[in-house]
Amino acid sequence: MRPAARLAGLSLVFSLVPPGRSMEVTVPTTLNALNGSDARLACTFNSCYTVNHKQFSLNWTYQECGNCSEEMFLQFRMKIINLKLERFRDRVEFSGNPSKYDVSVTLKHVQLEDEGFYNCYVMNPPDRHRGHGRIYLNVLLEEPPERDSTVAVIVGASVGGLLAVVILVLVVVKCVRRRKEQRLSSDDLKTEDEGKTEGEGHPEDGAK
């Protein structure tokens, strides 16, 4: 079988959001898959905390159109639960590893009716906000013609490397701030003043 799925150019979206707002989820915005092939719907996330399988939760849903209702087809509650939606039956396989911040799934034997939006929802306490990634799966009847992409690859690699460094720095800064904010919100506020100015309470050190 031919390669399962092809990313449409540099379509990876890096969710750079302010600290404390939401978990960062990385997905391709558009994924092209050849009819009859296997498509890996890649979804990874960044969290300031290690994954605790007792608290971690994951939902994968499908939407036929942007305004259509979502149909859940896979979730994680202590373990992977394949809901075996009638639309997909046994064609969905979990291919990620939550402990490595990867919650990708593989859709086998892609069909034309599989085209649509796929939503990846992740919650990793003590992170307080749920992360969300959205992929549009485009099913092709035939492979697009090959094009010389040497220059695009070089430029993409350079830009990708720079983005990786920027994202790493932002994640570290965000994690430091988030941990500090959550620590402050969970501690009782201190009401006693500390650090009196030098000399207070010693009248014998008054003016000479």
How does pLDDT run across 128-186, given as a tens digit for each residue?
Answer: 889 999 999 999 998 766 665 555 546 555 556 666 666 666 766 778 777 677 666 66
Structure confidence at residue 13 as a pLDDT band (50, 70, 90):
very low
CB 124 within 8 A of CB 47: yes
Give the pLDDT of residue 176: 72
Nearest to 36 by CA among 92, 102, 104, 112: 112
User: 49-79 burial, b if ≥16 CB within 10 A, otherwise e?
Assistant: bebeeeebbbbbbbbeeeeeeebebbbbeee
Nearest to 56 by CA among 75, 82, 84: 75
Give the pLDDT of residue 186: 61
d(CA 71, CA 75): 11
Give the pLDDT of residue 9: 37
The proportion of the chain whose per-residue pLDDT surpasses 70, expressed as a percent, equals 62
Which run of H or of E encompasses 62? strand 57-63
Query: Across the chain, which distance is largest between two alpha carbons, in Å?
Result: 96
